[in-house]
Amino acid sequence: MSLIIKKNIHLKNNETKSFLADAYYTETEEKLPLIIFVHGYKGYKDWGAWDLMAEKFAEAGFFFVKFNFSHNGTTIEDPNNFADLEAFGNNNYSKELSDLGFVIDHFIQAPNVDAEKIILIGHSRGGGLSIIKTFEDERINGLITLASVDTLDRFPKGELFETWKKEGVYYALNGRTKQEMPHYYQFYEDYEHNIHRFDVERAAEMAKAHMLIIHGTKDEAVDIKHAEHLHILNPGSDLFLIENGNHTFGAKEPWTELKLPNDLNTVTEKCIKFINDKMN
């Protein structure tokens, strides 16, 4: 079976703005389970080794989709760089959940997708959003979190928060690109206005989908306690720890090797086994 890769599919969400998605699948007459990968904070669909991960999922018999959130800072013309910091500053959780819903609605209509088998895989902040979306959308019957947060309340505290509120913007340095990335205060206002909707803990408790929680024991960005807490909240979930694994499971940007890093390969194989065990 030949692998089909469709890069930079142009999607237009009228609630946000246009963004790009990729689809990976093999040529087959069968209906394939739909996997949607949700990137995290300062992430994008072409970061690091995500392409290689997508190929491995497709070769295992899935219709795999990854996409850029409309306000992640990338653009239609330049999907690999944070070329639109104004959009990045105007991002919020409502926009990201709108984009995720749009992606599901779009690809569920693909002729070779099995609409009865929809799985979200969320990395880092994308994990928290995927948990919320899984609770909200009963079409989703598989949920996998990779190095996920257990709360979306990831805002400055104390004096830093008061300065943010007063000045209307704070900047976070991107260690890789050295860009000062803006966060406008509207981000917090959106969170506060929708605080019950954005309750990851409640969503994790209530979500009915099969759930797999994967985390590295040496995650430098999101402590392993987040994974352990999610597992307590959803005791029917599976918890899989990568010994000495970091936040991106060995991947980095750019990733120039022709194979997955060992930890991310282990993660991908675990995901494939989990989905096959639970969905068949």
Per-residue pLDDT tens over the stretch 206-259: 999 999 999 999 999 999 999 999 999 999 999 999 999 999 999 999 999 999
Q: Say if residues 52 and 259 touch (Cβ distance below 8 Å).
A: yes
Instruction: Look up the CATH number of domain 3-155+199-279.
Output: 3.40.50.1820
Q: How many CB atoms lie within 10 A of CB 47?
A: 23
Average pLDDT over residues 199-203: 98
Alpha helices in 180-223 (DSSP H): 186-193, 200-206
CA distance 159 to 182: 18
Average pLDDT over residues 141-166: 98
Q: How many CA atoms lie within 13 A of 236 on its CB side?
A: 11
Q: Say if residues 275 and 62 touch (Cβ distance below 8 Å).
A: yes
Domain residue spans of the chain = 3-155+199-279
State what percent of residues in the chain have pLDDT above 70. 100
pLDDT at position 270 is 98
pLDDT at position 280 is 80
Identify the burial level of 179 via C-beta atoms within 10 angstroms of its C-beta, where 0-12 means exposed, 13-18 middle and 19 or more buried. Answer: middle
Q: Say if residues 170 and 156 touch (Cβ distance below 8 Å).
A: yes
Answer whether residue 1 shows pLDDT above 80.
no
Q: Say if residues 270 and 260 touch (Cβ distance below 8 Å).
A: no
Identify the burial level of 154 via C-beta atoms within 10 angstroms of its C-beta, where 0-12 means exposed, 13-18 middle and 19 or more buried. Answer: exposed
196: left (phi over 0), alpha (psi -120 to 50) or beta: alpha
Average pLDDT over residues 163-167: 98
CA distance 249 to 262: 8
For residue 271, name the pLDDT band (cuts at 50, 70, 90).
Answer: very high
Q: Say if residues 212 and 119 touch (Cβ distance below 8 Å).
A: no
